Amino acid sequence: MGSRSGATQVIPDLGHNARMAERVIPLVDQRLAAIQPVFSTAPIALGSFWADARGRPLHDLRISVTDRCNFRCSYCMPKEVFNSDYTYLPQSDLLTFEEITRLARVFVDLGVKKIRLTGGEPLLRKNLEILVSQLAALRTPDGEPLDLTLTTNGSLLQRKAQALKDAGLRRVTISLDGLDDAVFKRMNDVEFPVTDVLQGIEAARAVGLGLDAWGQYSNLKINMVVKRGTNEDQIVPMARHFRGSGMTLRFIEYMDVGNTNGWRMDEVLPSSLVLDLLRTQFDLVPLTAQQPGETAQRWGWAGSDGQHDPRLGEIGLISSVTQAFCGDCNRARLSTEGKLYLCLFAHQGYDLRRLLREGADDDQLRRAIAGTWSQRNDRYSELRGQGMAPVEKPRVEMSYIGG
């Protein structure tokens, strides 16, 4: 039962997990919903500031390099949908490394300074370090290197950390939803043990991924999605574990991305409550944002003098549900097969691959990306917060456009 037909996917064999099954919503294949980019007619000066319809600059690009994953996190790729009947994109649909690099160069021409590789699980893409080396060689119109990073579930990091570092990766974000094996295995749903992810984190640290200008590891980030009733008892153990590591531990509110995770508001633990809980146990001091458009509110572990001690590391709170940050969202997303998405909650993408494969030159690509970005008006989370989220159109899955 191919999900690329555009028909609603029928889900077989739901008996083994009745509670989840009741809540999983059948998949409608949003990957098929592609439209042509909007071409800018204005002349394009390289490195100029490209603002969308709400004045937000194009600054970050997230590139999904695969729609596959070796985990089945229930909040992202529930097993009941992403099973052996699910049809992933065929290899020929995927952008090649050369195509990704060419598009990335055009985005950089238009002001992008930060690139995050994601997925699915990006380390499943064969020879990813070759793509990393190609992207690491790009320079902004001012001659600066990019802020190049990657989000991974950490399962393959022990094997790949050195090659990624050698290829020019600067930092990495690793997802880990708890320290208790039973809780973590329930969340990844493939019996993957905590120890192996911790070894991946240690490998990243050992090769210097995420080392900051002060010799700490604040750019080695750990993402924990907090789901009320599932892993909130892991908040304090995770904090205790990473306090002292110099790394940044980020708590992410469980989001209503895609259509298949059976999201419910009562399973969202607001970041304000996470902070309250942490402050009952630890001294924390607020830190200022490092750059505009930053998704996390930053807090530092206080040392004995009551000031932030960077050697201890820091905390990030990502309140995507309770405190929307659409106002300065500067992120574009490039899907695995070359569609440009303007929002994590979008229901369609703009087909850049077709342009590439039809022989568009760089100027045409620049005009397509700049023109499409110029008319961007998305602000889903803000609207959701006001009870006005558009519900009539299904959204693309996060594993397909990248987190």
The least CB distance from residue 130 to ligand SF4, in Å, is: 21
Judge contact between 324 and 384, C-beta under 8 A: yes
The residue ranges that bind ligand SF4 (CB under 6 A) are 69, 71-73, 76-77, 119-121, 153, 175, 325-326, 329, 331, 343-345, 378-381, 399
Strand partners, 351: 339
Instruction: Name the DSSP letter for residue 320.
Output: T
The enclosing H or E element of 236 equals helix 235-242
User: What φ, ψ does residue 96 adopt, rounded to 5°?
Assistant: -75, 170
| Burial bucket for residue 386 (CB in 10 Å: 0-12, 13-18, 19+) | exposed
CA distances for 160 relative to 146, 183, 201, 277, angstroms: 21, 26, 11, 36
Strand partners, 223: 175, 250
Q: Residue 403, interface with ligand SAM (CB under 6 A)?
A: yes
Q: Number of residues in contact with ligand SAM, rule: CB under 6 A?
A: 20
Residues 170 to 199: which contact ligand SAM by CB under 6 A?
A: 175
The least CB distance from residue 326 to ligand SAM, in Å, is: 16
Decide whether 296 or 344 has the Cβ nearer to ligand SF4: 344
Each residue 363-402 as x (binds ligand SAM by CB under 6 A) or -, in order, gives -----------------------------------xx---
Instruction: Provide the strand spans (E) within 13-125.
Output: 34-35, 60-64, 114-118
Decide whether 167 or 225 has the Cβ nearer to ligand SF4: 225
Residues 222 to 251: which contact ligand SAM by CB under 6 A?
A: 223, 225
Q: Which does 234 bind (CB under 5 to 8 A by kind): ligand SF4, ligand SAM, none?
A: none
Q: Residue 255, interface with ligand SAM (CB under 6 A)?
A: yes
Select from 348, 378, 292 the least CA-distant residue to 54.
Answer: 378
Decide whether 123 or 138 has the Cβ nearer to ligand SF4: 123
The one among 3, 9, 261, 381 contacting ligand SAM by CB under 6 A: 261
Distance CA 132, CA 136 (A): 6
Each residue 120-159 as x (binds ligand SAM by CB under 6 A) or -, in order, gives -x-----------------------------xxx------
Q: Which does 223 bind (CB under 5 to 8 A by kind): ligand SAM, ligand SF4, none?
A: ligand SAM
Distance CA 77, CA 73 (A): 6
Q: Which does 109 bind (CB under 5 to 8 A by kind): ligand SAM, ligand SF4, none?
A: none
Q: Residue 330, interface with ligand SAM (CB under 6 A)?
A: no
The least CB distance from residue 358 to ligand SAM, in Å, is: 30
Instruction: State how beta strands 339-341 and 349-351 pair.
Output: antiparallel
The least CB distance from residue 268 to ligand SAM, in Å, is: 9
Select from 224, 222, 295 the least CA-distant residue to 254.
Answer: 224
Query: Around 237, how many Cα atoms within 13 Å sit in the side-chain half-sphere?
Result: 13
Q: Which stretch binds ligand SAM (CB under 6 A): 95-103, 115-123, 134-142, 353-361?
A: 115-123
Q: Beta-carbon neighbour count of residue 197 at 10 Å?
A: 24
Considering only CA atoms, give the Rg of the chain.
Answer: 20
Q: Which residues are near ligand SAM by CB under 6 A?
A: 69, 75-76, 118-119, 121, 151-153, 175, 223, 225, 252, 254-255, 257, 261, 398-399, 403
